[in-house]
Amino acid sequence: MVAVNENAQKRLTIQTVEIAPNTTAIRSLDWDRDRFDIEFGLQNGTTYNSYLIRGERTALVDTSHTKFREQYLETLKSLVNPKEIDYIIVSHTEPDHSGLVEDVLQIAPRATVLASKVALQFLENLVHDPFSKRIVKTGDSVDLGDGHEIQFVSAPNLHWPDTIFSFDKKTQTLFTCDAFGMHYCSDDTFDVNLEAIEPDFKFYYDCLMGPNARSLLNAMKRMGDLGKIKIIANGHGPLLYHNLDTLKECYQSWSQKQAKTETIIGLYYVSEYGYSDRLAQSIGHGIQKTGIGVEMLDLTTTDLQEIQELAGRAAGIIIGMPPSHNTAAQAAISSLLAVVKNKQVIGLYESYGGDDEPIDTLRRKFLEHGVREAFEAIRIKEEPNNDVFRAADEAGNEMGQLLVRERNIKHLKSIDADLEKALGRISNGLYVVTTKKGDIKGAMVASWIAQASLQPLGFTVAIAKERGIESSLQIGDKFVLNVLEEGNYHDLKKHFLKRLLPGVDRFEGVKTQTAKNGSPILTDALAYMECEVKTTMECSDHTLLYCTVSEGRISDPDGMTAVRHRKVGTYY
């Protein structure tokens, strides 16, 4: 193992490791990156993985992020004479994997780029000089000699429409780019510590792969035709080897569950146009938190029949504004208008691509078909920031909650009235959970809380999956539990139940102090406790958190906790 060119200030390092015969991983380790595409917070940095395969001919699988330009190119030159590189396999064209393709082509002039048809179309806009290229798809292969035959698998929509997998028959290594990856940076080349990487593996799946569960299942079916796979060489994080079967099964079961979701939303976007795809990911993340399924398709590259098929199954449709002069996108919009039903709900967002289709014109066309608007159209007048991505997440969440409510109304009508009333006799206290993660503060009213242990002191809290605060209550996160006081809770309860516009300070007008863990303490609360999330359990439409308490104080020893009395158990 060799680490070269460490940048102490930004903590950018390169790791090179021989992972199989004649196969070297070039891993660009970004230790301190805490955001990815703005909208998803990272806890443990990330990596950008590239691979060099040498037989009688040499192939480079993917490159790296432009921030690693000098380090990556220097490392590549130390491993191989670039003029001897015969092929550059581009798994997909997102900049964190293909950002240095043009640089590599300049020093490897005889290399042929192997990629999907869509990827090559994108690359022609990124690489300014002519280059040798060849379209590859499922069943195609290239022989590097010495037994290294590379077989290709089309894997569209994982998570871009241009993705391919590459399989080296000799080493039984599958190169998957984003699929099976995770944003987790460490010196461990492989998945030696399952417990450490599992939360990041699941979070990555939820954010990027879950919205394309059907496409993932199709890709995994094609993977089954390749034979035994010993190593999954992904594009981010440690490679899968020690726990490969376990993590593959996770992908299979998560995707099957997602694909079987009865209620789904069709989310249509345009790759490599403005912020369309990244906003779609945020919206999709918000939808998934409600338990509603989501499937994402590119308006410009997906077959019209597939676009209409998804719209026919979907309870809701969300469209990112495509470029107004793109004929493929216009045909896709027309195909959607032809099949939309008045029982469906619609949501629209601007892509900030410079040539967006006018959102009001398209909105009017859909409303004329009798569909309902699930959330106010997202209009973007300047480059999207955290507030915009948060608004996109909340918009997806809003549509998801709307569909959940409509589904639940049907279900509630079938519940026995006496059972419903009996369950409602379980009473709970009233609390406010407050958080601060990075620069983002959050709060929510909670009542489903119960003490769960004495050694250590601990309790459980149930959080509805659609709640935006859930992302600040992951394992290891710290927060404050504020206990509301009987006879003195109405103002605080009313304040924290209000829906606010993105960017508005949730704590404006409320007296607060800062806890040792950084979270806000409500000065007018009866008591507070500083807490840490230790474990979680999935409970249908809620997540149950087990939390421990480190310290706490009470303002009035004679005060009583506010109690929430209900008449039925099917509402809060």
Using left for φ > 0, alpha for ψ between -120 and 50, and beta otherwise, residue 35 falls in beta
**pLDDT on residue 42:** 58
Query: What b/e string do you get for 168-179 counting C-beta neighbours within 10 Å, with b at 16 or more?
Result: bebbebbbbbbb
pLDDT for 409 equals 64
pLDDT of residue 417: 63
Instruction: Please tell me the predicted confidence (pLDDT) of residue 102.
Output: 94
Cα–Cα distance for residue pair 318/362, rounded to 1 Å? 12
- Spatial CA neighbour of 499 closest among 398, 351, 353: 398
Residue 519: alpha-carbon gap to chain centroid: 25
- Predicted local confidence at residue 568, as pLDDT: 63
CA distance 53 to 167: 11
For residue 159, say if its preceding peptide bond is cis, omega within 30 degrees of 0.
yes
Closest alpha carbon to 393 in 378, 372, 373: 378
Say how many CA atoms lie within 13 Å of 498 toward its Cβ.
Answer: 14
pLDDT value of residue 38: 40
State residue 1's pLDDT score: 32
Cβ(98)–Cβ(39) below 8 Å = no
336 is written with which tokens? 């959607």
Contact 53, 146 (CB under 8 A): no
Spell out the residues 6+ positions from residue 305 whose beta carbon is closer than 8 angstroms to its own. Answer: none
Exposed, middle or buried: residue 416 (CB in 10 Å: 0-12, 13-18, 19+)? exposed
Rg, Å, the chain Cα set: 25
Cα separation, 110 vs 90, in Å, equals 16
Neighbouring CB atoms inside 10 A of 553's CB total 10
Q: Per residue in 362-399, is it b (16+ CB within 10 Å) or e — as a string?
A: bbeebeeeebeebbebbebeeebebebbbbbbbbbbbb
Peptide bond into 456 cis (omega under 30): yes
Q: By the 8 A CB rule, do 7 and 67 touch?
A: no
Retrieve residue 20's tokens. 């199989």
Per-residue pLDDT of the chain (572 residues; tens, 9 = 90+): 333 344 444 589 999 999 999 999 999 999 887 655 544 555 788 999 999 999 999 999 999 999 999 999 999 999 999 999 999 999 999 888 899 999 999 999 999 999 999 899 889 888 888 999 999 999 999 999 999 999 999 998 887 788 999 999 999 999 999 999 999 999 999 999 999 999 899 989 988 888 888 889 999 999 999 999 999 999 999 999 999 999 999 999 999 988 877 789 999 999 889 999 989 988 998 898 888 889 999 999 899 999 999 999 999 999 999 999 999 999 999 999 999 998 899 999 999 999 999 999 999 999 999 999 999 999 998 999 888 888 898 899 889 988 987 776 665 555 556 676 777 677 789 999 999 988 888 899 999 999 999 999 999 999 887 677 877 888 999 999 999 999 999 999 999 988 766 567 889 899 999 999 999 999 999 999 999 999 999 887 788 999 999 999 999 999 999 988 766 655 55
